[in-house]
Amino acid sequence: MSYLWYTLLGAIVSMTVALIASFLTNPTDPASLDPVLLSPVIRRFLPKKEVKKQDVNMALLSGYKVKKDKTQAFFF
């Protein structure tokens, strides 16, 4: 066999072993994958996760101190 066929043979063997292992194990739910661990090209094909919006007190984030009546704020 020519040395030029080694690459094709290696690719076919690798894909065959990977397919057999995939069929023997349980499939992974794409929604449970962390998109940061995947290539940006693949991320667009993952299902979008629903992000819950949280009520954030902006005074706590911006460094303002809110008075008790919550009508005036001053920077500390």
Choice between 21 and 61, residue whose per-residue pLDDT is larger: 21
Mean pLDDT over 11-26 rounds to: 92
Please say if the pLDDT value at position 44 is more than 70.
yes
**What integer best gives the mean pLDDT of the chain?**
77
Mean pLDDT over 30-39 rounds to: 81
At 59 the pLDDT is: 61
At 17 the pLDDT is: 96
Instruction: Say how many CA atoms lie within 13 Å of 68 toward its Cβ.
Output: 0
Q: Residue 17: exposed, middle, or buried by beta-carbon count in 10 A (0-12, 13-18, 19+)?
A: exposed
Q: 42: pLDDT confidence band, cut at 50, 70 and 90? A: confident
